[in-house]
Chain A
Amino acid sequence: MHRLSVLVAFGLFVWVSACGGNHERAAYLRTAPGVAPSGAREDAADAKDFPVPPPPFSEGVFPCSQCHADMTPDLEVRDLGEHDGIELHHGPRDRWCFDCHNPDNRDMLRLASGRLVPFSESYRLCGQCHGDKYRDWRMGVHGKRSGEWNGKKQYLLCAHCHNPHAPRFKPLAPLPPPKRPDEIL
C-alpha cells in the first residue's frame, strides 16, 4: 500500500514537471480575456506615460493668442477668412470651432467638461468621442508606437496621422509590385 502511494506520487510528479515546459510558452493563449493591463485604466492617463513629439502645427500659427488675444470670440458659423485653408469634414455638419477650441484662451483646447488641455495632450479631447480608439491607442494598438518593445515607448498624437479637421486617412501611392517569377532570372 505504502509503495503504491509512493509510485502514484512519483508518477504525478513526473507528469506535472513534464507539463511545466509547455505551460510557460502557451500561457499567452490561456489568460482570461478582458484583463486589461494597468496602462489601460482610464484614470491612469497621465501625460508622462505618453511621450509625444510636438503637435503638428502649421507654420507660424501657434501660439494662437498672437492674433486672438485682442479679438472678441464670434460664435457664428461663417467664412473664417484667415483660416480658409480649413475645411471641416469631421462628424456632423453642425460641428464648429468651439466644440474643441477654447474661446477664452485659444492656446488651449477645451474638453466637454470645461477643463482645458494643452495641444500636446489633445488625445484627451479626441478620446471623449473616440473612447475605444483612445483605449487602444494607450495600449499602443491603435496608431503607431515606436521605441523599444521591452522599454521606452514613443507615442504619436492623433493629429500626427489624422488632420483633426478632416480626419480620414489619405490614400497613398503604393511602392512597386514584386517581379513575377519568370522575370527574375
Chain B
Amino acid sequence: MTEHPKTEAPLSSPAESPEEAAATRRHFLQGMAATAFVAACSPLEREAFFQRHFKELNKDELARVLARLSQGYSERFHKQVTVSAEPAASGVLFGYALDLSRCIGCRRCVYACVEENNQSRDPQIHWITVLEMEKAGGVDVMHANAYYDADEVPRPGHFYMPVQCQQCEHPPCVKVCPVQATWQDADGIVVVDYNWCIGCRCCMSACPYGARHFNWGEPTIADAEVNPETHYLGNRPRPRGVVEKCTFCVQRVRNGRYPACVEVCPVGARKFGNLLDPTSEVRYVIENKRVFILKEELGTSPKFFYFYGV
C-alpha cells in the first residue's frame, strides 16, 4: 500500500476521494485485526509466533526459546521436561550400519524408537518400518511386507530389512522445503524445526525412503510415557500439522550415547559411529564387509549402510 498523500487530514475529511477512504478503512481494519490477534495471545504464544529462524537466533534468543518450550512441555506433561540445542561437534560425521544377515524382524527397534523419541501413540507414528521379504527374491522393496505378524520371527524363508531416515549426504527433502524448515547439520544429521515447518509435506513426497511422517492429528502421549530429555531439533513433543523423522537420536548421540535402536536390538544388528574415525564400527563395516546403500541410483548418498556380517 502506498503512503497516503494527505496523512495530516482528518479521517472523515470531505475532501477525500471514495477510493482513498476505502484504502484508509482497509488499513485501519487490518491494523485492528493484527492488534486483536496479538492482544488475544498469551505472551508465550506471541513469542512463539514471532520467533525467528532457528539458525538466526542469537545465544540469548535461543536460551529464551528453549526456556519457553521447556516451560510449556513441563506444564502440559506434569513433569520437568528439558529441551537442549546441543550443536554438532566438529570432526564428527555420523554413520549407521545394519546387518541384514542378523536382523530377525522382531521390531524391538521400532518401539524403542517410539518411546525414546516421543512419537504420537495415537494417531500412530513409527519412524522405523521393518520390511519382510522372501530370501528367494532378494532385496525387492516393491514386494516387501511391512505388516507381517507371526508367533515367532524370523519366519522360515524370509529376511528382514528395517528402513528409517537414511541421513543422505544429498537429501532431496532438504532441497524441496519451501521455507527451509529442514536442513543438514554439520554432523550429517538431517533435522526439522517443528516451529518453522508449515506442514506442506513437499519433503514427504521428495523422500525416496518413506522416512518422513506427518502429524495428521493432535499427537498423544501419556504423561508417564513422555521422555523428558529432549532436543529442539529431535524428540521434543511435536504439534499437529508438522513433519517429523529419525534424527539418529540427536539428543543421545550428541552426548556420546548410542541411538536407542542400537541399544535395544537383541541380535546386535545395528552399528553406529563416526565415519571420520578410522577405528569406529561403521568404518570397519564399510572397509571389511559387503555393503550396499538403498536406491543408490538416485544419488542421495545415504549414510545408512546395509551389510552382510556373516
> Digit string of B292-307 for contact with A (CB within 8 Å is 1, else 0)?
0000000000000000
Given contacts A140-B271, A177-B146, contact A145 B281 (CB under 8 A): yes
Contact status A174-B217, CB under 8 Å: no
In B68-119, which residues have CB < 8 Å from any A CB? 92-93, 95, 99, 104-108, 110-111
In A137-183, which residues have CB < 8 Å from any B CB? 139-151, 161, 169, 171-180
Contact status A169-B267, CB under 8 Å: yes
Contact status B148-A142, CB under 8 Å: no
Residue of B with least CB distance to A149 = B273
In B140-174, which residues have CB < 8 Å from any A CB? 146-154, 169
Contact status A33-B287, CB under 8 Å: yes
B266: CB under 8 A from chain A? yes
Q: Name the segment of A21-29, A65-73, A93-101, A112-120 touching the other chain.
A: A21-29
Given contacts A136-B309, A179-B124, contact A34 B288 (CB under 8 A): yes
> Digit string of B14-42 for contact with A (CB within 8 Å is 1, else 0)?
00000000000000000000000000000
Selected contact of B258 from candidates A136, A149, A178, CB within 8 Å: A149
Contact status B149-A176, CB under 8 Å: yes
Contact status B106-A174, CB under 8 Å: yes
Distance in Å from the Cβ of A152 to the closest Cβ of chain B? 9
B126: CB under 8 A from chain A? yes
**Complex alpha-carbon distance, A145 and B273, angstroms:** 12
In B263-298, which residues have CB < 8 Å from any A CB? 263, 265-268, 271-289
Chain A residues within an 8 Å CB radius of B278: 31, 35, 37
A129: CB under 8 A from chain B? no
**Complex alpha-carbon distance, A24 and B188, angstroms:** 13
Chain B residues within an 8 Å CB radius of A177: 107, 146-149
Contact status A149-B280, CB under 8 Å: yes
**Complex alpha-carbon distance, A139 and B271, angstroms:** 11
Selected contact of B265 from candidates A31, A141, A144, A171, CB within 8 Å: A144
Given contacts A33-B287, A150-B256, contact A39 B123 (CB under 8 A): no
Chain A residues within an 8 Å CB radius of B93: 25, 28
Given contacts A141-B281, A184-B216, contact A151 B266 (CB under 8 A): no
B220: CB under 8 A from chain A? no
**Complex alpha-carbon distance, A184 and B277, angstroms:** 42
Contact status A141-B108, CB under 8 Å: no
For chain B, the count of residues having a C-beta within 8 Å of the partner chain is: 57
**Complex alpha-carbon distance, A145 and B272, angstroms:** 10
A5: CB under 8 A from chain B? no
Contact status A178-B129, CB under 8 Å: yes
Chain A residues within an 8 Å CB radius of B256: 148-151
B53: CB under 8 A from chain A? no
Contact status B123-A175, CB under 8 Å: no
Given contacts A31-B287, A37-B278, contact A175 B147 (CB under 8 A): no
Q: In the complex, which of the residues B107, B169, B282 has the most CB atoms of chain A within 10 Å of its own CB atom?
A: B107
Chain B residues within an 8 Å CB radius of A25: 93, 169, 188, 276
Contact status A34-B153, CB under 8 Å: no
Contact status A149-B257, CB under 8 Å: yes
B253: CB under 8 A from chain A? yes
> Digit string of B233-266 for contact with A (CB within 8 Å is 1, else 0)?
0000000000000000000010011100001011
Distance in Å from the Cβ of A110 to the closest Cβ of chain B? 28
Contact status B106-A28, CB under 8 Å: no
Residue of A with least CB distance to B283 = A28
A38: CB under 8 A from chain B? yes
Given contacts A31-B283, A35-B287, contact A180 B123 (CB under 8 A): no
Given contacts A35-B287, A149-B256, A172-B106, contact A184 B124 (CB under 8 A): yes
Selected contact of B146 from candidates A139, A169, A178, CB within 8 Å: A178
**Complex alpha-carbon distance, A31 and B287, angstroms:** 8
13 A-B interface contacts by CB (under 8 A)? A25-B93, A25-B276, A28-B276, A36-B288, A144-B267, A148-B257, A149-B273, A161-B266, A173-B152, A174-B153, A178-B124, A184-B123, A185-B217
By Cβ-Cβ distance, the 9 closest A-B pairs, closest first, are A144-B268, A37-B279, A28-B275, A171-B152, A175-B107, A148-B256, A177-B147, A143-B268, A139-B284
What residues make up the interface of B, taking CB atoms closer than 8 Å to A? Answer: 92-93, 95, 99, 104-108, 110-111, 123-124, 126, 129, 146-154, 169, 188, 216-217, 253, 256-258, 263, 265-268, 271-289, 309
